[in-house]
Amino acid sequence: MVSSDSQRLTFRTGTHVSGPSAETQSSTQKAKPSRIFIWVKLRLKLLIALTVMGLILIYTGIQDQDHNFLEYSQTFQHSYMRSTIDASSVGTECLNLPIIRPHGLSFLNQKVKSVSSPDGVTPSFKIGTMLGPKVAEHMSSDLVHFQLINELMEDHGSKGGLTFDFGANQGFFTYYLAALGMNVHSFEIYEPNFIPLQHGMYFNSKEIADRVNLYPLGIGEKVGRFSLSGKDYGGFLKDGNDGAILGVSFDCFAYHTKLNISNVAFVKIDVEGYEIAALKGAHKSLFSNTSRIGGMLMEVGPARWKRAQVDLTTGIVEMKKLSTHFRNSYLLIRTSGGHWEGCPPQLVDGILVDDKPRVIDNVNMYKVQLDEWKPLLTKMETKDYDCNFWYIN
């Protein structure tokens, strides 16, 4: 019997100690590959299983991505289609215009000075002006309007929403809306106002300036060249084909810009008698059934509608139609302060049934019913009143 010590293999230089028999060696050599084979086989199976699981997960992920992309594409296409004005909906004059783009940065003008918003306005902002510090007093007459807009944005959660400022002047509302976080598209026809309006982009922070889009355009019913009548806060378009100012309908503007106007947060219209023309020029876009507006502030002066060749009857029809786009319509009456005589408290006597108006500082808010528009606007035209109206959804 061979001892256990004699079964070891020992390698020394020039020596050899006999080991196990050939039969034992053969058996040992066969056992070692068998264990290696089993080890490799198990790991190959594990690798194959993991690979199959990975392919299943990848395929499932691709399917989910395809589904999500399809949903996104359909949503985008639906939104784009709803907000796009077809070429057949606008006239040849609109189609022949160069693409309407916003005007932003400008040459600096040393005559334009920075003026801050009045104390108490939150968030604060700055505007450019050539009229000096007294502009801050002019802005003070809009404090109630700013409050209403702020309430609207808080109630609707509209931060970052789309807004329009027709008749932007020097930018009271433009830069207030931008300071609130809104994306603003503003229109002004009077060059001594438009230049300060541009400078507001320098005087405010980049965050505010980046939200502002400015257009030296008039908004009305027709596309063409107009001249200007009036100045400062009272400038308005004068019909004619040889003027320097480009006027367009909002339908035409929407066709060129392709903005998604299916959900607009806020609109301000102060166009000195062209308000009805502006409404008529937006029937297929902003005031169509496919567009929803959160709130709107509009100055209305029926005695001035003739500037845009609009008669009283047509204006009343348009005002009644406009009110159907909103849940509620309100007449804003100042009881004191600047310009209150232009829309005095006695205007509502015998016309409006709302005898408990909301009171905000020196302003009373009277709700206007559908059947009250005709007598109200007729009296305004007779007395040459111009008043502000607030609309909300």
Q: Tokens 């959900």: give the residue.
A: 263
User: Measured between alpha carbons, how far is 246 from 17 in angstroms, rounded to an integer?
Assistant: 111
Note whether 389 and 267 are within 8 A (CB): no
Mean pLDDT of all residues in 234-254: 84
User: Measured between alpha carbons, how far is 220 from 314 in angstroms, rounded to an integer?
Assistant: 15
User: Measured between alpha carbons, how far is 369 from 229 in angstroms, rounded to an integer?
Assistant: 34
Look up residue 324 and give its two tokens.
């159907």
CB atoms within 10 A of CB 357: 18
Per-residue pLDDT, 70: 40
Percent of the chain with pLDDT over 90: 65
Q: Which of 383, 371, 375, 313 is nearest to 343 (CA)?
A: 383
Instruction: With a cut of 70, say whether residue 183 has pLDDT above it.
Output: yes
Percent of the chain with pLDDT over 70: 79
Q: Where are the alpha helices (DSSP H) in 222-303?
A: 250-257, 275-280
Residue 223 or 237, more confident: 223
Q: Is 106 exposed, middle or buried (0-12, 13-18, 19+ CB in 10 A)?
A: middle
Question: Which H or E run contains 195?
Answer: helix 191-203
Mean pLDDT of all residues in 312-340: 95
Note whether 328 and 290 are within 8 A (CB): no
Specify the long-range contacts of residues 97-103, CB closer than 8 Å, at least 24 apart: 97/223, 97/246, 97/248, 97/252, 97/256, 99/256, 100/215, 100/217, 100/248, 100/252, 100/253, 100/256, 100/257, 102/185, 102/213, 102/214, 102/215, 103/198, 103/214, 103/215, 103/216
Note whether 139 and 188 are within 8 A (CB): no
Percentages helix, strand, coil for the chain, rounded to the nearest 5? 45, 20, 35
Task: Among 221-235, 297-311, 356-370, name the one with the lowest average pLDDT.
Answer: 221-235
Whole-Å CA distances, 305 to 104, 193, 367, 380: 31, 23, 23, 12
Q: Are strands 224-229 and 217-220 parallel, antiparallel or unpaired?
A: unpaired
pLDDT single digits (tens) 277-288: 999 999 999 999
User: Measured between alpha carbons, how far is 244 from 225 in angstroms, rounded to an integer?
Assistant: 6
Per-residue pLDDT, 237: 75
Mean pLDDT of all residues in 174-193: 96
Instruction: With a cut of 70, say whether residue 348 has pLDDT above it.
Output: yes
Residues contacting 24, CB < 8 A, separation 6+: none
14's torsion region: left (phi>0), alpha (psi -120 to 50) or beta?
left
Q: What are phi and psi of 4, to 5 degrees?
A: -65, -30
Q: Is 14 exposed, middle or buried (0-12, 13-18, 19+ CB in 10 A)?
A: exposed
Q: At what angle do helices 312-323 and 373-383 cross, to 10 degrees?
A: 140
Whole-Å CA distances, 139 to 88, 121, 268, 275: 42, 10, 15, 21
